[in-house]
Amino acid sequence: MRRRLWRALAVMALVVTGGLVAGANPAGAATAPALSASALSAMRLTDAGSFPTITGYRNAVEASSRPLSVVRMSTLIAGGYATRAVCHPTDLRVTASVAGFCWDSTDDTTTNWYPQGVTGSGDGMNGTDLYPPCDGCAGRKVVAVSWHSGAGYTPYGNDGLARVTFVDVTNGTAGAPYRHALLVEPDNSAAGYHAIESHADGIMWYGNKLYLATGGDQGAPGAGRVIRVFDLTHFWQMSSTTSGAVGCTATACSAAYSLFALPEIGYYQYPDGAVCDPLRTGDPASLTDPCFNSISLDRSTVPDSLIAVEYDDQGPHGRILRWPLDASTALLKPGSDGYVRPDQGWTSPVYRMQGAVFTGGSGVIEGLCPNGAPPVVGMPNDPANDAIVDGFAKSCLHKATISANGSLDVHYWTTTMTNAENLSYWPSTGQLWLMNEFRGTTDTKVSPPVAYPSDRLVLAIHCPSLTCS
């Protein structure tokens, strides 16, 4: 979950107002007003010529004598770790069928890494959920999850590293093989590449491209690179997994103990290279430089759309923005002036949005629960103060419908696991994917303190057209 110093001021307001606008309750609803055409036009993204530059660096690394190998996804997903069957309470209150998995025991509880975003082959491919992981390979059903390093990960610390995990669920979600790939940016240094410092807020798979929403990564190198792009036909296999370093020496290439790395090919930024700025009253920069803390794909529009969500815990300010995609390049679609602009957007009534998906006129938004929502296993049941406990959020899914006047009608749907994060909708299977980062905490506000165990899950709700119950 994105935590910044300016957010700390909002805790008191949040525990009073809950997950929707003030006074909302599970039976209630709220409206998300549409953003005006002028507001949308003021937001601009540019690739800043980054794609030929960074892709050139990547190609130069591969043409050198550095000891690494270029491999396809088929090599990555051929073995490694294995998922377990769902091993924690889901806290879902739905009638639809639910599948999913737990990570292995290490990834389930580690404080070195925290999962953030979810996507997969059902996003990447149009009309199917099967992605060919190499030329001539049979299609595979693959789930992808992004992670950021934790504060205790020495020497990188919080957000010092980012990785993506690829899980082959073709033969089922339990016992599915998975491996991690460290995210790196090629450069013209002697090492050839460096670690990407990022919270890895959200990911989206489109064609052969993987998009990473960075949330702006305030204070990190490359903070202005608000969306990074990677080529899923191009992984690097390291010659060393015994070093915590990132980069190559004369004798070894390393990726912080990971066997694989995924090199960036380019990025999008605001025209002035500014770090993103959450929406704030009286702050002009915040009107043009939104922060993307989650992204997802909507194939129901023409052209296809990238849905970007802005996390905000100081009120119902976070924005949902729809950006056009170009299917021929699998990149964002620029206008005649070379800039990419959103063509639709809303200011959401859901506090602490962590994800949103849309198809047709329907959507689902993940964020804080409204006060009075049913209790969940991982947090105390205190209706007067049940939204946040020691910084951990009670999470709910909210249904959204685009109304005739363009606004969003939003209402509570169900609770889900604590600290839920991003969402992904696969139209070919009707699956709504969701996941969370919670790895346990202790509630110190009660005496004696109460410990809550990890409940990290990746789940898929069967929800065709996002209209299930």
Residue 450's beta-bridge partner residues?
443
Q: What is the pLDDT of residue 354?
A: 92
Least confident among 56-60, 217-221, 245-249: 217-221
| Element containing residue 51 per DSSP (H, E) | helix 50-63
Distance of CA 325 to the CA centre of its chain: 18
More confident residue, 312 or 397: 397
C-alpha to C-alpha distance for 414 and 5, rounded to whole angstroms? 30
The residue type of 401 is T
C-alpha to C-alpha distance for 244 and 43, rounded to whole angstroms? 39
Read off the pLDDT of residues 142-182 as tens digits, 9 standing for 90 and up: 999 999 999 999 999 999 999 999 999 999 999 999 999 99
Q: What is the pLDDT of residue 2?
A: 45
Read off the pLDDT of residues 33-70 as tens digits, 9 standing for 90 and up: 999 999 999 999 999 999 999 999 999 999 999 999 99
More confident residue, 11 or 418: 418
pTM above 0.75, yes or no: yes
C-alpha to C-alpha distance for 10 and 387, rounded to whole angstroms? 12
Q: What is the pLDDT of residue 4?
A: 36
DSSP reduced 3-state for 50: helix
Residue 243 pLDDT level (bands cut at 50, 70, 90): very high
Read off the pLDDT of residues 418-430 as tens digits, 9 standing for 90 and up: 899 999 999 999 9
| DSSP letter for each residue of 288-322 | T----SEEEEETTSSS-EEEEE---SSSTT-EEEE
Q: Taking Cα atoms as reference points, which of 168, 164, 234 lies closest to residue 204?
A: 164
In this predicted structure, the answer to whether residue 9 has a pLDDT above a threshold of 80 is no
In this predicted structure, the answer to whether residue 435 has a pLDDT above a threshold of 70 is yes
In this predicted structure, the answer to whether residue 217 has a pLDDT above a threshold of 90 is no
Q: Which residues form the domain of 22?
A: 5-466
- How many domains does one find in the chain? 1
Q: What is the pLDDT of residue 450?
A: 79
| DSSP letter for each residue of 226-258 | EEEEEETT-EEEES-SS---EEE-SS-EEETT-
pLDDT mean over 299-320:
87
C-alpha to C-alpha distance for 453 and 438, rounded to whole angstroms? 9
pLDDT mean over 268-281:
80
C-alpha to C-alpha distance for 133 and 150, rounded to whole angstroms? 30
